[in-house]
Structure 1
Amino acid sequence: MVDLHLLVQTVVYCCTFVCGFVVAIPIGVTNSNFDGMCMLYGDFKWTADSFLMESSEQLNCTFSIYLNVLGGIFYSLFLLAYNSYALHKSKSDHNVVFGMWVMPFILLNSVMAILILVSSCIITVGFNDFCSGITQTEFFSSCSEAENREWKNHKTGEPFNIGNFYELMTVGKFASWISFLLWLGQVALGVLRFVRNRTHRTRSADRERIGDVNPSA
């Protein structure tokens, strides 16, 4: 029998690994479709029949992309491999789970949860701000209506297609919040494992003391 607690943690790391892709890819593709401009918090200046969008700081997009690639994908993959190996070893030796590192990962996972929360807020508020700007006139009745349109880079004059940004960013936004809940759950599971390990060590120490007092038992 495998350790159920460890199995749940392994599954959650697998989910955060998948969420890393689901967040990073849509934002990265959208950023590329917008000719390298970050559409989050984009500022619009409207005329009678046209508009000009000023890109926000590129950090608004790259922060979420790199966070989910480095933390959501690579860090999750490392812990997924680590937990999977421990899960396999626990089949033959159940005490393996009580010797695993706990506190470092509680701290790292807490940092990840905070950073993912910040990233989720940036994506959500930035995307809502963009949609508010693009629908502030009667040119577009909804944000999704602006998808797959030909835009022109006002600096270079080159045209580009913005693609299905609304679908991509909606997927990325929800995946980011799901990722935050998963990392929060992972922190809670880590704290629970820390408590379990301390309880196990206390009981083991008590059994050893009883054995020393009564060697014949």
Structure 2
Amino acid sequence: VMASAAHSFLHFLIFPDEKEGKKKKKNMIHPFALDMLLNEVHSEYRYDAMEFPDEGYIQIQQDILNPSSKKPWWRRRKKRRVGQASYTIGDFTSTYSPSSHSSTFTSIITCFFIDTATNIYEYLLILHHLLQEGGIWINVGPLQWHTNALLTPSADELRVLMEEGFGFEVLEWGVDDVAVNYRHVEDGKTRYTKMTESYFPLRFVVRKRKTR
């Protein structure tokens, strides 16, 4: 599901309705359809659909590609190449640990990711390996360590490990005061008879120190 969504998002599969002269969204997912059928309040909510990309992204693309053009955005989106984006399906440690990826990135962003580590030492080593000297790593997400995790450090223990064990320089560090919904939309609907899943994410910005 995630790979399919990434493919559609990156290839921007949104097409205009030629008859009405309006853009017509073709990308739609049903994120609740595969939920375990437990604690449901209304069965029809199970089939709620979500469209993507959202209107904000469409407007950004339109403005970037050619803000002065009077043509509809779908007529001009291929006129100019802006940036690159791609995705890789695979295991993070085996994909990015080879020496060919050393010092590849000037910045890395991880979102709801680091707590998926079986061994957090591996993740930290690889992220340090991927960054160029002076490179920035930005993270947001909880420390909801998975059941296969060999180590489950707290936020303060993780900071010590990153600073003293791997030499990262901490620029920003903190845990949110307000919970963030993980996978349930804030649409006012009571979907379940239990509390929805939410977290107080850890946010940090660190820099890979220069060795010279």
TM-score by length of 1: 0.23
Higher relative contact order (CA 8 A, sep 6+): 1
Q: Greater helix percent: which structure?
A: 1
Q: Greater strand percent: which structure?
A: 2
- Structure 1 or 2, whichever has the larger Rg, is 1
TM-score by length of 2: 0.24
